[in-house]
């Protein structure tokens, strides 16, 4: 069933593994096997039990957890080993890398020492020899000038470099198995592509077997040969990656594949051609002073340019995407448009009117026309208010209705974003992330805005939830003929949703144009890198055009 070839004993065999925390069963009867030299992907959404499974393999579970079943590494049952024997296996036979490399590196020790530490401990080599090998390992994982870099501290490394250093530390003792728990989730897409490439390369060169845990089917499809799909602590499907993706049997796997960004295009309404733009941004610059602290006023020098001469135009009814990696200035643009920060230069005009000059009633009127949905589903709602109150508040505060009528309207709005009326009295923490994001949408739409800015609104959500929110967004955009600015780091989401895109890099627009063209024929080298690093599922029957 999982396509085990005969004659090759599995390196790791997990049989009927169950993990429970008190009453709650996090993992239920999970079985899979990994042969030497293979890369196995475990895919699932948050809470599916994929990380708990791997922590059980490493015996890294909290004391309250109970694990049953068997985990056999080359004939030894890991669940039955004592702590001493485990310590000899962890780091030596099994290496592990984590999602957030920054929190797994000691900020006070040099990178070289940290890479050398497991080797010195497990292989009994000298410190000098360990450091020498650490430099070679850093070279192996693609860190330039490894000798110099080995003497650096973690804060001098970028996120991608930290993850490379973590990989170097994990493979130092030549483990038989590397467990990578969401190794690229915290990284930008272009960096993600390079890390995945490195992992695949390591696997080819040294035959290192890996388990790659990810919420992103695209990432798994990119480098794994076998895949296990988990949901609610159970394995719903497993097999060779091509079989699972091209012929998924379980409905959940099908849903997961359908939900991949870029699998379908959403037919957003076309904006009218020509005419005056609704929103135009001219030579906008925003800078933040970097000093800040005690000497900030004295130095006066260092200012970080978050936006550096941005020009863009958005027509009424258009859906425009803004893409860029973290720090590219895309959120700064959004905050400037809604006047949460003051531009240093340039102008933003709505219907030809400079919004920087608005005040009093004109500003209030502007607030009603331009609204924003924020990134973090929980943080964007006041934890003390019920979601009904949160949605009703803008209506009565703007004097559009009295409080009682506002409450009625809020109920209608919640219904519009497909939330059941029974949730009206819930507080945000009693809702799921996707539901909170729907509340955020309802609140933003309560003032009936013309222009809606969505800043990374799905980046904190699971991929299937993301697909639902996008569908909702498209429906609302159509029904209310909204002008939509969709900001994301994910080019595939943007291109499936938007008619036009602007690509941001380091505070500048490096490319703009019709979404499909930018995706298929990127001009700027940076856009090409972005497009090239999309971890997409293998070629499929083309895009599924969505009937609306």
Contacting positions for other proteins (CB under 8 A): 45, 335, 338, 340, 363-364, 367-368, 371-372, 374-376, 379-384, 393-394, 397-398, 418-420, 423, 426, 429-435, 440, 443-444, 447, 461-462, 464-465, 468-469
What is the smallest separation between the CB atom of 474 and other proteins, expressed in angstroms?
Answer: 16
What is the smallest separation between the CB atom of 447 and other proteins, expressed in angstroms?
Answer: 7
What is the smallest separation between the CB atom of 130 and other proteins, expressed in angstroms?
Answer: 40
Strand partners, 484: 319, 452
At residue 363, the 3 state secondary structure works out as helix
Whichever of 153 and 378 has its CB closer to other proteins, that residue is 378
Phi, psi of 68 (to 5 degrees): -130, 160
What is the smallest separation between the CB atom of 431 and other proteins, expressed in angstroms?
Answer: 5
Q: Which long-range contacts does 219-224 make (Cβ < 8 Å, 24+ apart)? A: 219/41, 219/184, 219/192, 219/535, 220/41, 220/42, 220/43, 221/41, 221/245, 221/535, 221/536, 221/537, 221/538, 222/196, 222/535, 223/39, 223/41, 223/196, 223/199, 224/39, 224/40, 224/41
Whichever of 190 and 232 has its CB closer to other proteins, that residue is 232
Whichever of 46 and 545 has its CB closer to other proteins, that residue is 46
Whichever of 180 and 334 has its CB closer to other proteins, that residue is 334
Whichever of 101 and 394 has its CB closer to other proteins, that residue is 394
Q: Could you tell me which of 66, 8, 76, 59 has the C-alpha nearest to residue 38?
A: 8
**Residues comprising the chain, all counted:** 548
CA-based diameter of the chain, in Å? Answer: 79
Alpha helices in 383-486 (DSSP H): 387-397, 403-416, 433-445, 463-479
Q: How far apart are CA 209 and CA 78, in angstroms?
A: 17
Whichever of 181 and 462 has its CB closer to other proteins, that residue is 462
What is the smallest separation between the CB atom of 335 and other proteins, expressed in angstroms?
Answer: 8
- According to DSSP, residue 379 is labeled T
- According to DSSP, residue 530 is labeled H
Give the CB-side neighbour count of residue 32, counting CA atoms within 13 A.
25
Distances (CA, A) of 104 to 46, 173, 378, 447, 522: 21, 18, 26, 45, 37
Whichever of 343 and 434 has its CB closer to other proteins, that residue is 434
Whichever of 134 and 436 has its CB closer to other proteins, that residue is 436
- According to DSSP, residue 430 is labeled G
Computed from CA positions of residues 439, 443, 449, 452, in that sequence, does the dihedral angle turn out positive or negative?
negative
What is the smallest separation between the CB atom of 103 and other proteins, expressed in angstroms?
Answer: 19
What is the smallest separation between the CB atom of 428 and other proteins, expressed in angstroms?
Answer: 9
DSSP string, 85-99: HHHHHBTTTEEEE-S
Residues 334, 341 contacting (CB under 8 angstroms) = no
Neighbours of 484 (CB within 10 A): 24
DSSP string, 15-36: EEEEEEETTEEEEEEEEEEE-T
What is the smallest separation between the CB atom of 374 and other proteins, expressed in angstroms?
Answer: 4
What is the smallest separation between the CB atom of 501 and other proteins, expressed in angstroms?
Answer: 24
Whichever of 82 and 420 has its CB closer to other proteins, that residue is 420
Q: Could you tell me which of 144, 139, 197, 191 has the C-alpha nearest to residue 168?
A: 139
Whichever of 231 and 536 has its CB closer to other proteins, that residue is 231
Whichever of 205 and 384 has its CB closer to other proteins, that residue is 384
What is the smallest separation between the CB atom of 467 and other proteins, expressed in angstroms?
Answer: 9
Looking up tokens 């798994």, which residue turns up? 220
What is the smallest separation between the CB atom of 483 and other proteins, expressed in angstroms?
Answer: 16
């Amino acid at each position: 069933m999982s396509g085990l070839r005969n004659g090759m004993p599995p390196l790791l065999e997990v049989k009927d593994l169950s993990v429970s925390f008190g009453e709650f069963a996090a993992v239920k009867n999970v079985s899979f096997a990994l042969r030497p030299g293979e890369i196995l992907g475990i895919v699932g959404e948050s809470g599916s039990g994929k990380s708990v499974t791997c922590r059980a393999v490493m015996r890294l579970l909290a004391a309250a957890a109970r694990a049953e079943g068997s985990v056999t590494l080359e004939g030894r049952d890991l669940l039955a080993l004592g702590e001493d024997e485990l310590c000899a296996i962890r780091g030596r036979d099994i290496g592990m890398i984590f999602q957030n490399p920054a929190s797994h590196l000691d900020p006070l020790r040099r990178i070289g020492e940290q890479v050398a530490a497991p080797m010195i401990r497990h292989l009994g080599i000298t410190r000098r020899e360990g450091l020498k090998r650490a430099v070679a390992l850093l070279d192996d994982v693609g860190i330039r000038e490894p000798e110099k870099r080995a003497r650096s501290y973690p804060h001098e490394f970028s996120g991608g470099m930290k993850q490379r250093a973590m990989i170097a530390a994990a493979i130092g003792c030549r483990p038989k198995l590397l467990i990578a728990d969401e190794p690229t989730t915290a990284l930008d897409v272009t960096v993600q592509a390079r890390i995945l490439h490195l992992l695949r390369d390591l696997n080819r060169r040294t035959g290192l077997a890996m388990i790659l845990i990810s919420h992103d089917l695209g990432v798994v499809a990119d480098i794994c040969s076998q895949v296990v799909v988990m949901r609610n602590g159970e394995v719903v499907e497993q097999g060779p990656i091509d079989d699972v993706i091209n012929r998924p049997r379980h409905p959940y796997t099908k849903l997961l594949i359908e939900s991949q960004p870029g699998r379908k295009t959403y037919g957003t309404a076309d904006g009218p051609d020509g005419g005056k733009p609704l929103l135009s941004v001219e030579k906008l610059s925003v800078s933040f002073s970097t000093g800040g602290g005690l000497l900030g006023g004295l130095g006066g020098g260092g200012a970080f340019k978050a936006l550096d001469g941005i020009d863009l135009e958005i027509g009424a009814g258009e859906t425009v995407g803004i893409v860029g990696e973290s720090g590219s200035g895309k959120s700064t643009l959004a905050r400037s448009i809604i006047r949460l920060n003051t531009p240093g230069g340039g102008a933003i005009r709505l219907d030809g009117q400079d919004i920087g000059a608005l005040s009093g009633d004109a500003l209030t009127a502007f607030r009603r026309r331009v609204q924003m949905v924020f990134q973090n589903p929980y943080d964007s709602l006041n934890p003390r208010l019920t979601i009904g109150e949160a949605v009703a508040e803008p209506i009565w505060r703007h004097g559009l209705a009295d409080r009682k009528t506002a409450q009625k309207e809020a109920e209608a709005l919640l219904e519009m974003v497909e939330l059941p009326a029974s949730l009206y009295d819930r507080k945000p923490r009693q809702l799921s992330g996707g539901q909170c994001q729907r509340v955020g949408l309802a609140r933003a739409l309560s003032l009936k805005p013309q222009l809606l800015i969505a800043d990374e609104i799905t980046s904190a959500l699971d991929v299937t939830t993301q697909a639902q929110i996008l569908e909702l967004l498209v429906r609302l955009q159509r029904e209310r003929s909204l002008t939509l600015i969709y900001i994301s780091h994910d080019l595939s989401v943007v291109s499936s949703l938007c008619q036009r895109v602007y690509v941001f890099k380091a505070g500048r627009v490096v490319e703009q144009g019709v979404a499909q063209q930018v995706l298929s024929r990127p001009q700027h080298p940076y856009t090409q890198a972005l497009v090239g690093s999309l971890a997409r599922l293998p070629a499929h029957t083309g895009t599924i055009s969505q009937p609306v």
